[in-house]
Every structure is written in C-alpha cells, then in structure tokens.
A and B are shown apart, each in its own frame.
Chain A
Amino acid sequence: MALHRRRPLAEAYGHAIGILVLESRFPFIPGDVRNARSFGYPVFYKTVSGLSAADCLAGARQCAGAVVEAARALEAQGVKGISSDRGALALFQDEVREAVRVPVALSSLLQLPMIARTLDGARPIAILTADADALPPALLARPDVAVANPLVIRGMREKPEFDAAILRARGTLDSDLMTAEAVDVVRKLRSEHPDLGAVVLECSMLPPYAHAIQQAVGLPVYDFVTMIDYLQAATHRERYAGYY
C-alpha cells in the first residue's frame, strides 16, 4: 500500500459514483437508480436540497447553485464520477462539469450519440420516459444529446400502474404490473417501427424492467444503470489477470 492522504470533508471512503437525487419519495425497487443494490459497487447519494422536479424540468437557473453545491459535496467525499436520478438535471450538466474535476453524466440521454453511432443512421431509437410531454426540448437539443437518427419518444403516463405509482406518488408500486406495462409500450412501439435499433430508458425508475423489455423485443437496452456502470468501469480500472 502506498501513502494515503485524508480528505478533509470525507466521512467515509470507497464510494465509486456519487448520485445527485431530488427531494422525492417513491418505492425505489432493485434496479432503480435510487436503490444501492442496483450497482455492483458502492454509490453515494446526495439530495439537492430545495430542488423540486418542476424546478428541474423548467431548468430553473436559480437552482444551478444548489446542484453545483451538492456535486461539490459528492466530490469532497471522494467519488470518482457523478450522475443523477433525473434526466432533466442535465440542464445543469455544464455548470456541474465546470465545478468538479471528476467526470459528470447527469442524464441517461447523454448516451444517445454513442448509441446512434452503432446503428445505421436511418434506424429509429426508442426513448421511454415517464411523461413524454415533460421531456424538455432543450435537453434533446443539447449538442451532447442530439442525434441524426429518428427518435420515437413514448411516455408511461397512459399506463395506470405507472401513473398511480409514480406520477401520482401513491406510495406503493406493483413491479409485476409495471413490468407488463413497460413491455407493452415497447412491444407496441416495435410493431409500429419494425426497424427499431435500440431502446433508451430515460427515466431512472425504469431500469428494473430493462431485462423484461429486452426479452420481449430482443434489442439493446440502455439506461441510467448502463451509463453509470460504464462511468464506474472507466474510473476504476482493474488489472487483467487472464492467460495466454
């Protein structure tokens, strides 16, 4: 072991990724970005105080300070990368990135250019989100998000269990019903777009259903968890101990 230096503000050590979260309360089931067991390594959560989902969606500039402050607090704990549980936080991506030294990826949609590049430019990419009307156009227009491939955006709002459990915050969530609803939306989308190339789950509460969606349509499925795993892998390289 080499010499290790104390981080003045760190309460504990060894957290791989810091995750900024909003002040919301849902049943965060395994696979959700806000369930620590969704990751194969320790993550550190930090609530952005005073930031509501509505503020976030509106990209309220006065909130940038609070988001930056929370990101700096995560960095002070020693995290190697920073993500979030809300794609709309990417409206603050630039401010946060300038404020910290570690890589920052606040929205699952930042994967879009990389995904689009693996497919022929004519093939559509599906985006599954909570409420399609609430996805800020400013987010999709960002140079690090926009792609040439056609995007097919669908919300889960018309689905009763998702609507009750998430959009109306009932306090309970039936994951079997949610699985069936998510699979149903993507199956329908696939039948409308047989040439679909990939599915992106924008919402941080949808990764629990990625496996079922993939079983149903046989396409690559990207989401917050694939992105956070990628960031973690690049910030914590391991030695290859194979054979020759």
Chain B
Amino acid sequence: MPVYTTRADAETAGHAVGILLLDYKGPFVPGDVGNATSYDYPVLFRTVPKATSARVFAGDPELEAAVIEAAKALEAQGVKGISSDCGYFINYQDAVAKAVKVPVYLSSLLQLPFISACIGRKRPIGVICANATALGNRVLEMTGLGSEREVFIKGMRDEPIFGSSVTGDCLQLDPDAIEAEVVGVAKRMVSERPELGAFLIECSMLPPYSKAVQDATGLPVFDFLTMIDYHEKAAHRRNYDG
C-alpha cells in the first residue's frame, strides 16, 4: 500500500463520482441519476443552490459561480470525476472543466460524437429528452457533434403521466406508467425513422426505462448512466486476473 495524505476538506473517502444536482426535489427511483443504487460504486451528490431547471436550461451566467463552487467542493472530497443530473448543465461544461483537475462530464449529450462515429452519419440518432423545445442547435453544437449530423429529437413533456410527474413539485411517480410512455415514444420514433441507429436518452430521470426501450426496439441505448459508468471505469482501472 502506498502512503496516503490527508485531504484537508474531505469528510470521508472512496467516492468515485461526484454528481451535481438541480435544486429540485423529485422521486428519484432506482435507475435515476439521483438514486445511489443506480451505481455499482459510491457516488457523492451535491445540490447546486438555486439551480432551477429553467436557469440551467438557459445557461444563466449568474449561476456559473455556484456550479463551479459545488464542483470544487466535490473535488475536495476526492471524487475521480464530476457529472450532473441534468443534460443542460452542459452550459457550464467548459467553465467547470477549467476549474477542476478531474474529468468533467456534466451532460449525457456529450456521448453524441462517439455514438455518431459508431453508427455512421447516414443513420439518425434518436434523442429522447424531457423538453424537446429546449434542446436546440446551440446545445447540440456544444456536444462537439457536427452540424450536418441528423439528430431526431422527441420530448416526453407532452406525455400525460411524465408531463405531470416532472413539472412543478412532483410528489409521486409511477415508473410502470412512465415506462409505457417512454416505450411508446421510442417505438413511434423507430416507425417514423426506420433507419434509426441508436437512442440517446438525455434526461436523468429516464435511465430506469432504458432496458425497456432496448427490448422494444433492439437498438443500442445510451444515457447518463452509460456515460458515468464509462468514465468511472477509466478512473478506476483494475488488474486483470484471467
């Protein structure tokens, strides 16, 4: 064992990934980015004070200092990477990456260039998000995806149960009902665009339904959790004993 040095600000040690949270209280079911049992390793959550979804969607510059402060606080606890529970934290991706030493992957959308490389430019990527109108070209450009790449976006907000579960103060959530809605949206997307090559589920509340989307469509399904798991593995390599 090597010699270890005390981290001045760390209350505990061994947390793999730090996750910035919106200032929002919802039922984070297993599979949600905000549920600790969604991971095979310990994660540390930290709410960014006053980070409402509206401010994060818009990339409010006045919020930047608070986002950076929360990320630095996570880094001081020793996390090996920093993510978030809202894809629109991508608005602060560059600022946070500049402020800390560990890898920063605040948005599930950052997987788009790799997905594009794997399925080819001729096949669209299906993106399922909460609010499709908020996901415009400005956000897509920040992912590094070329503007010529076709992305087929559908929002869940018009679905009755999801819509009423995430808007305002959500007190209850029925995962079976939402699963049926997500699968319905995914199937409609495939029937509209049979050439669809993969799904990217943008919203951090939707990974609980990724398996159902895959079972219904047979396509690769990427989301926040595939991204966080990927970077966590790279930050914690193990010995091979085959």
Query: Which A residues are closer than 8 A to B by beta carbons?
Result: 29-31, 35-38, 80-81, 93-94, 97-98, 102-105, 110-111, 113-115, 117-121, 143-144, 197-198, 207-208, 210-211, 213-215, 220-222, 226, 229-231, 233-244
Select which of B28, B197, B238, B242 is within 8 A of A103 by beta carbon. B197
**Pairwise interchain contact A120-B97, C-beta atoms closer than 8 A:** yes
Pick 15 A–B contacts, CB within 8 A, sort by A.
A31-B242, A102-B220, A105-B117, A118-B110, A118-B231, A220-B80, A226-B230, A226-B233, A233-B230, A234-B221, A237-B211, A239-B211, A240-B30, A243-B37, A244-B27
B residues contacting the other copy or chain, number (CB 8 A): 58
**Pairwise interchain contact A144-B117, C-beta atoms closer than 8 A:** yes
Q: How many contacting A-B pairs (Cβ < 8 A)?
A: 150
Inter-chain contacts of B230 with A (CB < 8 A): 226, 229-230, 233
Inter-chain contacts of A121 with B (CB < 8 A): 94
- Smallest CB gap from B241: residue in A: A30
Which 8 pairs of residues, A with B, have the shortest CB-CB distance?
A242-B37, A37-B242, A30-B242, A240-B31, A242-B30, A31-B240, A144-B117, A118-B103
Inter-chain contacts of A220 with B (CB < 8 A): 80-81, 103, 231, 234-235
New A-B contacts (4) at CB < 8 Å, excluding given A114-B111, A242-B31: A29-B240, A114-B113, A211-B239, A237-B211
Distance of A98 from chain B, by nearest CB (Å): 6
Inter-chain contacts of B81 with A (CB < 8 A): 118, 220
- Smallest CB gap from A210: residue in B: B237
Select which of B104, B117, B221 is within 8 A of A118 by beta carbon. B104
